[in-house]
Amino acid sequence: MGDALATQREGTMLKGFGGSSLRVNLRTGQVQRRPLDPAFARAWLGGRGYVCKVLYDEVPRDADPLGPLNRLVVSPGVMSGNFGPTGSKCCFGAVSPLTGAHGDSTVGGHFGPELKFAGYDLIVFEEIAQGPVYLFVDDDRVELRDASKYWGKGTIEAEEMLKHDLGEDFEIAAIGPAGESMVTFACIGHDFGRQAGRCGVGAVMGSKRLKAIAVRGTRSVPIHDLPGLKELTMGVIKRTSTHPNMAPWQKFGTAMFVGWSNEHGVYPTHNFQTTYFEPYAGIDGQPLVDKLLVSNKACSGCWMNCGKYARVTLPEKPTIHVEGPEYETGSLCGGNCGFDKIEEVAYVNWVCDQTGIDTMSGGGFVAFGMECYEKGFITREQLEGHELRWGSVDDFEHFVDMIVHRRGIGDWFARGIVYAAGQIGHDSIRFTAQVKGQGMSGYDGRGAPAMLLSYMTADIGAHHNRSWTITMDEDLGKAVIKGKAKVVVYLQHIRPFFDVVSCCRLFWGEVDVTVEEHIEAIRLMTGWSDFTLEEAMRLSDRLWNLNRAHFLERNGGPGRKHDYPPARFYEEAVPSGPGKGARLTMEDLDVMLDEYYAARGWSRDGNPSREILEDLGLPETATRLETLDLLGPLMAPLPEVRGERYKPKAF
Amino acid sequence: MKIVLKAGGMLADYLKPDPVTHAREVEAGEGQTLRQILESIGVPPGHVAMAFVDSNIVHLLYVPKEGEVVTLRPPVQGG
Ligand code: SF4
């Protein structure tokens, strides 16, 4: 294969890119390598951009997410592997078995850069292999190999074995037993504790019988202006090293947000029943560092090292090592499941990582099971004689085992929380913490309406990485409903942009590296001297509309009906803690949705209009929607600028 | 007594520290909590995600000591 691929290498030598894409047919075993088309590269930039485009163009509308016609798409974007601030990411995407439409999830670590060093910007997996395989990539040598000996192994164990067999310098992305059994919230693990966690991308990988991807790259990525890029990046490193946020960030990572979230009445507790977890001090960043920390851990080229590698010893459990828990795990697998000791949270974090389930959806879905058990909707008999109590590590571990191996009611949960609620009955759907089937991130939106709107409207379901607004909700007032939607739109363009170019958005968020500096870095990498922030944001807008169209085409319309959260989030008031009394109504949600759709140039029904799609260069998408009667009329004049940057009052 | 507050990002717009050292010396009353000190100089405590003394987390009810350096950080972008 290597020689054939080498001769196919046409050497366009696009600056900033690996230069090639791979298309792998898992059924036939055929691997095709193509040079990256420069026009495609500029139009979609990579990462999430390529993923969106490939999924929209290639996956038929009625294709089963776990069937042969779905694609698994892997792409490190333009900044990945380049000496910028900081290109460590890689995007995995597929039509999601959780939401039924476009799904993507970005992982840090070293996998994306390694793919770029091997010369690849995009891998598209098609069809289903006859038996377990893994993709071996060693620069130009690319082959599918038998993965029988790794099948059935935990994610971390499989990574260890592959590194042992191939060499330490291979970077591995692998699934665990949950991915193999197509649990709809299975993740893809990498670097012993980092995950492309959301949207069930691991389930799609498992459905294709693809256990792992192993890659080694020994080339460098061609850079247009290396001295200029070096100067910019060194300046950023120097400046941010003394930033006041840097030292706490390096010491605690995101785990330090547990206390803040709790004090501000947004911390999900006992399946989002309330927003205050009294014993939170036991699972905050401080005990993580004081009791469990082995070392800090960083992604490729990162000087912020937010990863916390921990060693955990619990009575009657094996001693384990785990990266984390970071904030999302510390909330959804923390107070949300009733765990009040950092050792417990870290241990269940490891259970999720090893079996290969997303700690966010996993923690949220198990917490839902715990509330059902508490209410008597799930019986001990259904739990194989076990219980499912708040704060019980044994119960959590046993229930996850039922899910991963699809035993009894474990199979209901493996299919997703909406399916499980349907089987459990008792109107339990009303207290599922999800939108569009995707489990909510670790913030309760009742105390932060714009955050709830962010969940409601996110293209992949209730995930915070698209828009996070709690600072604004605090600043403008937690009870304020109007005037926030435009900011949600702005954030939905800026935050996922980092997943397009595959760099870590935390530098922007935490230590004031500006978006303009990222844009300048891309200019220096690629030589696109006319590349602007406006072009970048326009791409983000285009991707958002493309994903909305994708969602509607696959799930039907009108869009609005998919955008409401379960009843708990607009009927129940928060019962305790600093957020006590926070409550939203259906009318509040409608006000926010109306504002949001107008800001996007969509119809009152939440369907994109022809005007917006044509404005974004997507006329074929407008026609596709029109054919399905899913195109909406504009409800207000097309906004020239979609979204509005939020400036705190003090500005 | 005097203490030193340090902050960057959005909080710097409230605290108005030295642009290079990110620090500002402020006057604080004996026994005042961090929350009270912040309110007295116009920094909204709601914008302080957490505070650190000697790289350890302290909370808004913490009472700083004379000469102590307290680093504040905003909940900027939510991970
Ligand atoms: S800040 Fe954390 S997530 Fe971001 S690149 Fe560094 S180690 Fe990775």
Dist. CA A242–CA A8, nearest whole Å: 48
pLDDT grade for A648, boundaries at 50, 70 and 90: low
What DSSP designation does A576 have?
A: S
Do residues A338 and A370 touch, judged by C-beta distance below 8 A?
yes
CA distances from A333 to A167, A181, A287, A326, A574 (A): 34, 22, 16, 10, 20
Q: How many CB pairs under 8 A join A and B?
A: 94
Question: Considering only CA atoms, which of A126, A140, A154 is closest in space to residue A212?
Answer: A154
DSSP states of B16-72 as a string? ---TTT-EEEEE--TT--HHHHHHHTT--GGG--EEEETTEEE-TT--PPTT-EEEE
Helices and strands in chain B, H and E counts: 2, 5
Please report where in the chains the tokens 């997943």 appear, as a residue: A499
Inform me whether the pLDDT recorded for A197 exceeds 70: yes
Query: Which band of pLDDT confidence, cut at 50, 70 and 90, is reported for residue B8?
Result: confident
Ligand 1 centroid to Cα of residue A456, in Å, is: 27
* Angle, CA A203 vertex, CA A201 and CA A207 arms, to 5°: 120
The confidence score (pLDDT) of residue A243 equals: 87
Give me the mean pLDDT over the A136-163 stretch. 98
What residues have CB less than 8 Å from A93, skipping those under 6 apart? A48, A51, A52, A54, A55, A72, A73, A74, A75, A102, A103, A104, A105, A199, A201
pLDDT tens per residue, range A426-445: 999 999 999 999 999 999 99
Q: CA A452 to CA A467: how far, in whole Å?
A: 10
The structure tokens 């949270």 sit at: A345
CB distance B7–A256 less than 8 Å? no
- pTM for the structure as a whole: 0.94
Q: How many CB atoms lie within 10 A of CB A424?
A: 21
Higher model confidence: residue A216 or residue B11? A216
Q: Cα(A191)–Cα(A299) distance, rounded to whole angstroms?
A: 9
Domains of chain B plus CATH, in order, are 2-73 (3.10.20.30)
**pLDDT at residue number A12:** 53
- pLDDT given at position A117: 97
Q: Which atom of ligand 1 is nearest to the CA of A301?
A: 5
| Confidence at residue A476, expressed as pLDDT on a 0 to 100 scale | 86
Determine the pLDDT at residue A10: 43
pLDDT digits (tens, 9 = 90+) for A352-374: 999 999 999 999 999 999 999 99
Predicted pLDDT of residue A1: 44
The pLDDT of residue A11: 46
> How large is the average pLDDT for residues B14-23?
91
Helix (H/G/I), strand (E/B), else coil: B8: coil
If you measure from the C-alpha of residue A507 to the centroid of ligand 1, how many angstroms do you get, rounded to a whole number?
8
CB contact under 8 A, A464 and B7: no
Asked which of A456-460, A592-596, A637-641 is least confident by mean pLDDT, the reply is A637-641
Check if the beta carbon of residue A609 is closer than 8 Å to that of residue A602: yes
Q: What percent of chain A has pLDDT over 90?
A: 89
Residue with tokens 């499912």: A388
Contacts of B57 in chain A (CB under 8 A): 248, 252, 256, 259, 284-286
Domains assigned to chain A: 2-216 (3.60.9.10), 244-432 (1.10.569.10), 445-511+532-627 (1.10.599.10)
Residues with C-beta less than 6 Å from any ligand 1 atom: A 86, 88, 108, 298-299, 302, 304-307, 504, 506
Ligand 1 atom closest to the Cα of residue A505 is 4
Tell me what the pLDDT averaged over chain A comes to: 95
Share of chain A above pLDDT 70, in %: 97
CB contact under 8 A, A475 and B71: no
Split at pLDDT 50, 70, 90, the class of A584 is very high
Q: How do beta strands A307-312 and A293-297 pair?
A: antiparallel
Which residues on B lie below 8 Å from A257 (Cβ)? 49-50, 75, 78-79
d(CA A638, CA A635): 9
Tell me: the pLDDT tens digits for A523-538?
999 999 999 999 999 9
Q: How far apart are the first and last CA of chain A?
A: 59
The encoded tokens of residue A518 equal: 């990222």
Find the helix packing angle between A155-166 and A342-355, rounded to 10°. 60
> For A368-397, what is each residue's pLDDT tens digit?
999 999 999 999 999 999 999 999 999 999
CA distance A446 to A401: 32
Write phi, then psi, for A370 (nearest 5 degrees): -65, -40
- Three-state DSSP state, A172: strand
Q: What is the ipTM metric for this complex?
A: 0.75
- Nearest ligand 1 atom to the CA of A249 is 1
Is B75 in contact with A470 (Cβ distance < 8 A)? yes
